[in-house]
Chain A
Amino acid sequence: SQQGEEDPQALSIQEGENATMNCSYKTSINNLQWYRQNSGRGLVHLILIRSNEREKHSGRLRVTLDTSKKSSSLLITASRAADTASYFCATDHYGQNFVFGPGTRLSVLP
Chain B
Amino acid sequence: DTEVTQTPKHLVMGMTNKKSLKCEQHMGHRAMYWYKQKAKKPPELMFVYSYEKLSINESVPSRFSPECPNSSLLNLHLHALQPEDSALYLCASSQAQFSGNTIYFGEGSWLTVV
Residues of A whose CB lies within 8 Å of any CB of B are: 30-31, 33, 35, 40-45, 48, 50, 88, 90, 92, 95-98, 100-103, 105
Contact = CB atoms under 8 A, between A and B. Distances in A.
Interface residues of B, number: 25
B105 A97 contact: no
B108 A50 contact: no
Contact of B105 (A44, A102, A105): A44
A71 B107 CA distance: 29
B56 A42 contact: no
Given A33-B102, A48-B102, A97-B48, A42 B42 contact: no
Nearest to B106: A42
Interface in B1-54: 2, 4, 33, 40-45, 48
A42 B88 CA distance: 9
B98 A97 contact: yes
B97 interface: yes
B43 A96 contact: no
Interface string B95-110: 0011010111111101
Contact of A43 (B41, B43, B48, B56): B43
B74 interface: no
